[in-house]
Copies of this chain bind each other. A is one copy, B any other.
Amino acid sequence: MSSVDPFLAKLERARLAAKKLATVTTTRKNAALEAIAAAIEAGVPEIVSANAEDLARGREDGIGEGLLDRLRLDESRLRALAAAAREIVALPDPVGQVVRGNTLANGITISQVRVPFGVVGAIYEARPNVTVDIAALALKSGNGAVLRGGSAAEHSNRVLVRLIQEALASVGLDGEAVQTIDEFGREGASRLMRARGYVDVLIPRGSAGLISTVVQESTVPVIETGSGIVHVFVDASADEEMAVSVVTNAKTHRPSVCNAAETLLVHRDAAERLLPRLARELTGAGVALSGDETSRASVDGLLAADDETWATEHLALEMGVRVVESLDAALAHIERYSTRHTEAIVTQDYANAERFLAEVDSAVVMVNASTRFTDGGEFGFGAEVGISTQKLHARGPMGLQELTSTKWLVRGAGQIR
A interface, CB within 8 angstroms of B: 19, 22-23, 102, 104, 108, 110, 112, 115, 117-118, 196, 200-201, 215-216, 219, 221-223, 239, 241-242, 245-246, 248-250, 253, 335, 344, 353, 357-359, 361-370, 372-374, 378-380, 390-393, 395-397, 405-417
Q: A327 to chain B: closest CB distance in Å?
A: 14
Complex CA gap A414/B366 in Å reads 10
Instruction: Name the B residues within 8 Å of A358 (CB-CB).
Output: 23
How many identical chains are in the complex?
2
Asked whether B366 lies within 8 Å of A412 as measured between CB atoms, the reply is yes
Q: A216 to chain B: closest CB distance in Å?
A: 6
Asked whether B108 lies within 8 Å of A373 as measured between CB atoms, the reply is yes
Asked whether A19 lies within 8 Å of B370 as measured between CB atoms, the reply is no
Instruction: Name the B residues within 8 Å of A379 (CB-CB).
Output: 104, 110, 408
Q: A19, A246, A373 — which one has the most chain B CB atoms within 10 A of its CB?
A: A373
In the complex formed, the residue of B with least CB distance to A414 is B242
Complex CA gap A250/B416 in Å reads 8
Instruction: Name the B residues within 8 Å of A370 (CB-CB).
Output: 415-417
Asked whether A408 lies within 8 Å of B221 as measured between CB atoms, the reply is no
Partner of A407, one of B200, B245, B365, B417: B365
Partner of A416, one of B246, B380, B407: B246
Instruction: Name the B residues within 8 Å of A361 (CB-CB).
Output: 19, 22, 115, 118, 407
Partner of A369, one of B219, B239, B368, B414: B414
Asked whether B411 lies within 8 Å of A367 as measured between CB atoms, the reply is yes
Asked whether B362 lies within 8 Å of A407 as measured between CB atoms, the reply is yes
Asked whether A357 lies within 8 Å of B409 as measured between CB atoms, the reply is yes
Asked whether A239 lies within 8 Å of B408 as measured between CB atoms, the reply is no
Complex CA gap A361/B405 in Å reads 11
Partner of A410, one of B110, B118, B367, B414: B367
Q: A39 to chain B: closest CB distance in Å?
A: 30
Residue contacts A-B, CB under 8 angstroms, 29 given? A23-B358, A104-B378, A104-B379, A110-B379, A117-B391, A201-B391, A216-B219, A221-B222, A221-B392, A239-B414, A241-B414, A242-B414, A246-B414, A246-B416, A249-B416, A253-B416, A362-B407, A363-B408, A364-B407, A365-B408, A367-B410, A368-B412, A368-B413, A369-B411, A369-B412, A369-B413, A373-B412, A392-B393, A396-B406
Instruction: Name the B residues within 8 Å of A200 (CB-CB).
Output: 391-392
A249 and B417 in contact, given A23-B358, A407-B363, A410-B373 (Cβ under 8 angstroms): yes
Complex CA gap A22/B250 in Å reads 28
Complex CA gap A112/B388 in Å reads 14
Instruction: Name the B residues within 8 Å of A412 (CB-CB).
Output: 366-369, 373
Q: A91 to chain B: closest CB distance in Å?
A: 16
In the complex formed, the residue of B with least CB distance to A219 is B216
Complex CA gap A219/B361 in Å reads 21
Partner of A368, one of B201, B397, B411: B411
Asked whether A405 lies within 8 Å of B395 as measured between CB atoms, the reply is yes
Complex CA gap A392/B246 in Å reads 36
Complex CA gap A384/B337 in Å reads 36
Instruction: Name the B residues within 8 Å of A368 (CB-CB).
Output: 411-415
Asked whether A372 lies within 8 Å of B417 as measured between CB atoms, the reply is yes
Q: A36 to chain B: closest CB distance in Å?
A: 25
- The 5 closest A-B CB pairs, nearest first, are A369-B412, A249-B416, A391-B405, A393-B393, A242-B414
Q: A247 to chain B: closest CB distance in Å?
A: 10
Instruction: Name the B residues within 8 Å of A108 (CB-CB).
Output: 369, 373
Complex CA gap A405/B393 in Å reads 7
